[in-house]
Amino acid sequence: MTQLTTYIGTSNHGFAQYAQDELRKLFPLTKFTLLVPTEVFYFQVPEDTTDVITTMQENEPIFLRHVQPVHQEWELSHTDADIAHLTAWLREAYAAGLFGYGEKIATQIRKEERADVPYAPFAIKAAIDEILTAECGGEPVVRYADHIISVYISAKKVYIGISKPSENLSDWSGGAIRFMKEEDQISRAKFKLLEAEQRFGIDFSIARKAVDIGAAPGGWTSLLLERGLKVTAIDPAAMNPRLLGNPLLTFLKKNANDVKLRENEFDLLVCDMSWDPRQMGHLVSDLLFSLQSGGTAIVTVKLMHKKPFQTVRDILRIFEDSLFLLKAKQLFHNREELTLYLQKI
Residues forming the active site: 302
Interface with ligand SAM, residue 174, by CB under 6 A:
no
Nearest distance in Å: CB 231, ligand SAM:
12
- Provide the angle, in degrees to the nearest 10, between the axes of the packed helices 277-287 and 308-319: 20
SS3 content of the chain, % helix, strand, coil (to 5): 35, 30, 40
Nearest distance in Å: CB 190, ligand SAM:
5
Nearest distance in Å: CB 94, ligand SAM:
46
Q: By the 8 A CB rule, do 65 and 11 touch?
A: yes
Please list, residue by residue across 231-256, b when 16 or more beta carbons sit within 10 angstroms of its beta carbon and e when fewer do. bbbbbeeebbeebeebeebebbeeeb
Nearest distance in Å: CB 30, ligand SAM:
36
Tell me the torsion sign for CA atoms 36, 336, 240, 199.
Answer: positive
Nearest distance in Å: CB 236, ligand SAM:
6
Q: Give the binding-site size for ligand SAM (rule: CB under 6 A).
A: 23
- State which amino acid sits at residue 199: R
Interface with ligand SAM, residue 210, by CB under 6 A:
no
Out of 22, 73, 195, 235, point to the residue binding ligand SAM (CB under 6 A): 235
Q: Which is nearer to ligand SAM, 37 or 236 (CB)?
A: 236
Interface with ligand SAM, residue 195, by CB under 6 A:
no
H or E stretch covering 326 = strand 323-329
Q: Which is nearer to ligand SAM, 40 or 256 (CB)?
A: 256
Tell which residue, 142, 190, 135, has the closest CA to residue 331. Answer: 190
Interface with ligand SAM, residue 190, by CB under 6 A:
yes
Using CB under 6 A as the binding rule, the residues of this chain from 253 to 272 that contact ligand SAM are: 255-257, 272
DSSP-H helix ranges across the chain: 16-26, 49-58, 81-95, 121-136, 190-199, 219-226, 241-244, 277-287, 308-319
Interface with ligand SAM, residue 202, by CB under 6 A:
no
Out of 16, 224, 233, 234, point to the residue binding ligand SAM (CB under 6 A): 234
Enumerate binding residues for ligand SAM (CB under 6 A): 186-187, 189-190, 213-220, 234-237, 255-257, 272-275
